[in-house]
Amino acid sequence: MKIEAPTKAIKELCLQLGSDYGIKVVDRENVIYRNLGNGYDIEVSRLDTNRSRMNATIYVWKTESSQIVDIIKNINSFEKLKQTLSEVSTRYLSL
């Protein structure tokens, strides 16, 4: 199954989040991704769409075991996404 190129929308969101974030394919989906560098990764799913309405999900992974340790659903605005990513990054960077 061929993975489509990232949409303009996900590229723009990723740029707005800053250089800590990139686009990566996870489970055949383009996601916004950040490696925290301490054994945790953040994945933002459900953004690679041309729909005007956002409904993102954030997953925090423990990289060593490939285990999901946190899920935050129903993020429906860029402001909420940015705030939640800041909170999640701060929490997991301190571990």
Residue 29 in tokens: 């989906």
64: closest CA among 44, 35, 91, 86? 35
SS3 37: coil
Q: What pLDDT, on the 0 to 100 scale, is given for residue 3?
A: 84
Q: Hunting for tokens 């990764």 — which residue is that?
A: 41
The reply to whether 3 falls in a domain is no
Considering its fold, how many domains does the chain have in total? 1
Q: What is the mean pLDDT of residues 19-34?
A: 96
CA distance 90 to 85: 8
Q: Which domain holds residue 48?
A: 8-93
Mean pLDDT confidence for 14-28: 96
* 9 pLDDT above the threshold of 80: yes
Residue range 32-91, pLDDT digits in tens: 999 999 999 999 999 998 788 899 999 999 999 999 999 999 999 999 999 999 999 999
In a domain, 45, yes or no: yes
Q: What confidence score (pLDDT) does residue 50 get? A: 79
